[in-house]
Amino acid sequence: MTGQTAAKASLLSCHSCGLLSRATPGHHVRAACPRCGAPLHSRKTNSVSRTWALIIAAYVFYIPANLLPVMSVTSLGKTQSDTIMSGVFYLVVHGMWPLALLIFFASVVVPMLKLIILTYLLISVQRRSHWRPVDRTRLYRITEAVGRWSMVDIYVVTILVALVKLGNLATIQAGAGAVFFAAVVVITMFAAMTFDPRLIWDVMENEHE
């Protein structure tokens, strides 16, 4: 029986507990897994359109996330605002190279790369691409795993806000950019969850017949 997919064998695999159940054809009532109770479906519901919607929202939020200040420092009456990129430049100017690279990677490269990869995967699925399914699945796996690390800048802002509140001496305020940036991270995480990597493989299935 190996060499066949669950869908071909009319089996539904539970996304939560992994139990295989027999699909009842023509039955449109939403079935639940007999073991854990999670809703059963052969493929994630409306995976492509849902993921597109989330990705487009993330692209839109990505712009204010980078243009608006993520935090502003007020020290002795003077206020200085920092965007993500100016924060990175600040670190470079002060010789903190490894930290600058880390923040640049986590806050700029990872979210952008994640959006580009998911966009590419969606287009490849819609165009019924047969190109390197193993590598595309691997790309998806990486995208899903690294997204969380982009939150680091949000936590840095939170910690700085909590630590630096010395009245006139120095205070730090979180900026609107941080809100949009957190939204981008959360939305792209949802986008990675709604994308169904099995769609990459469904096209290959039909080819063999």
Could you tell me if 145 and 137 are in contact, meaning their C-beta atoms sit under 8 angstroms apart? Answer: no
User: In angstroms, what is the minimal distance from the CB of 109 to other proteins?
Assistant: 16
Other CB atoms within a 10 A radius of the CB of residue 85 amount to 15
CB of 4 or CB of 86, closer to other proteins = 4
CB of 57 or CB of 156, closer to other proteins = 156
Question: Per rule CB under 8 A, is residue 142 in the interface with other proteins?
Answer: no
* Rama region for 122: left / alpha / beta (φ>0; ψ in -120 to 50; rest): alpha
- Round to whole Å and give the CA distance between 1 and 13: 15
Question: Per rule CB under 8 A, is residue 162 in the interface with other proteins?
Answer: yes
* C-alpha dist (Å) from residue 152 to 74, 84, 107, 169, 181: 22, 12, 8, 26, 11
CA–centroid distance for 58 within its chain: 9
Tokens of 22: 């027999």
Ranges within 86-125 binding other proteins (CB under 8 A): 91, 94, 96, 99, 102-103
- Round to whole Å and give the CA distance between 55 and 49: 10
Ranges within 13-32 binding other proteins (CB under 8 A): 13, 15-22
User: In angstroms, what is the minimal distance from the CB of 131 to other proteins?
Assistant: 14
- Round to whole Å and give the CA distance between 69 and 83: 4
Closest CA to 59 of 193, 187, 196: 187
CB of 3 or CB of 25, closer to other proteins = 3
User: In angstroms, what is the minimal distance from the CB of 34 to other proteins?
Assistant: 5
Question: Per rule CB under 8 A, is residue 5 in the interface with other proteins?
Answer: yes
Q: Which residues bind other proteins (CB under 8 A)?
A: 1-7, 9, 11, 13, 15-22, 34-38, 91, 94, 96, 99, 102-103, 133-134, 137-138, 140-141, 148-149, 151-156, 158-166, 169-170, 173-174, 178-179, 182-183, 186, 189, 193, 197-198, 200-202
